[in-house]
Structure 1
């Protein structure tokens, strides 16, 4: 059975026809405002004219001239408003004359542009002759350098998947031998509208079980630094949503290099999850006798199975206070970066897709490529594996 057609009262049809006639609005505009087809509205207008004399009321010569003048002024105001709206997206309050000239030049060369240069200059309150004088000048060395820097900055921004701010991009430029100040990078990024993804505060904590450790000292006391690898580690758990349900990620991070030295991903949050993460860390990196493993007081970390593993690895347990995220802020910081830079920007249809993406982030980006602010914008792998070089040289 075919769908029923929309029906309109005669009063509604006449009202729309009168609006078109009385206001001289385009048929398309009125039709769109009321959700009817333009051709349908044109038929209504024609029938209305036929039933009400067929012609509009005659206007005097002066009235017609005045109407044309008003229509012209209306078009001018519309064009000016549209131009200034575009300018508002690029030009900020107090923009320099040169910045306005650059905007006019960009609009002048836009395909389909109809606004003459003298009007754009008038709307932005700058001199037309000044614009043409500026246009005829050779490009300055400063402008040329900014353009070259903008290309490199965009390259590093896109290479980091839009996660880098101006400090990390400045570190990339410095590493390749390009000399510039952080503030210049910041200025160019603002001009190029390169805005890195922003963090979202969110935290779900776990609590110690009834059979948890009564007293485990905090051996870290918010000092997440170390003088060498393998002496101080932090661990934590987070969850990631997929269309098939949650997956859980447990990590072990070396405080010296901030490298994720061990991780485990599963669809459960049982003790095996954190056990596997710590075992993986012990297999892939050196763990000194008496090394500290710090975590929160979640039930998986206070379980007998996990405590036995810590003892067997000749490590010492350390725990922050319940519900105080700053006591394990290094682990929290990593999860914040993971969620902000990858998870919140992705929709995972399956658990396997999420698992692969998280592994790719940890091993393919965070450890090997991402510049860490606490490492003077060096990379975790770079710091972790370069530690022995001074000792070998000595």
Structure 2
């Protein structure tokens, strides 16, 4: 393990550049600075690991049968959704009307499942006609949705109420709020930060950096921090290690939890990549991961000198905060990824292909981190 240069996580993301993103081996070799022989070896090993055995074939056959049945059911639901697109965000009564109109075309139980209504409610609706209030609310919802969509989802009930008044539609703000609540229309202004259980911050190390973010040579001082990225599978956490000399991301790790392991994996990548010949300052905030016994022991074993920011002072770790800000403003842009794997692949490409090798940095006289190091080394 001591001679290994790349972690398993790095290899897996590099292989995805070939198998999933369609890049050639030679192209990926140039983009990532990895020899094509290594890439072919990693690709071959990955393909061997994916070969199924006899038990897997039986399981695959059963899974195929299940998927066929699921596909048949999904196809029916898709056809229902195509027909019901206009009532998906409408009131329950309008959904019942849609069901009643399409009883000869689709099964009742399927339509109720897709539209998320109960059969008992449908039969009760058949016995009772629509109220005038319900009809008015349905018409009002169309105008509300038009105002909501025109604002790109930013407007809440107060501003939409102003739009309706200007259009000559008389109704109260409370009524608008109720209709929006029933239709699940909410003002969108980015996403909230994940909440953590706060504890007593640990000050395991002094602040050795003291906001001195310019160093004279590589691997004198690194900074590290953790951020979060939103996906529909849940939060994805990203830990990075940045060399203050060139602002290069020398280590990173992405996981679904914020355990100390994510920081240690990022540091392991940094140590394997850079192989520092002298002791390195590793600066962080006062997060529990950086004050744990595992972190302190790991740093001691690998000749790293821990340094911690002052409590509540984000400027002490401004370089890491600046990188996360650039990542989210330039690449993520309030996007919510479908899965953690999709987020990992895009962030991997941003760091390894764009940021380290191409992105111009104002601190480096508009050079990329890798180009800056090459020029300083005379290469």
How high is the TM-score relative to the length of structure 2? 0.48
Structure with the greater alpha carbon radius of gyration: 1
The structure showing larger relative contact order (alpha-carbon pairs under 8 Å, at least 6 residues apart) is 2
How high is the TM-score relative to the length of structure 1? 0.47
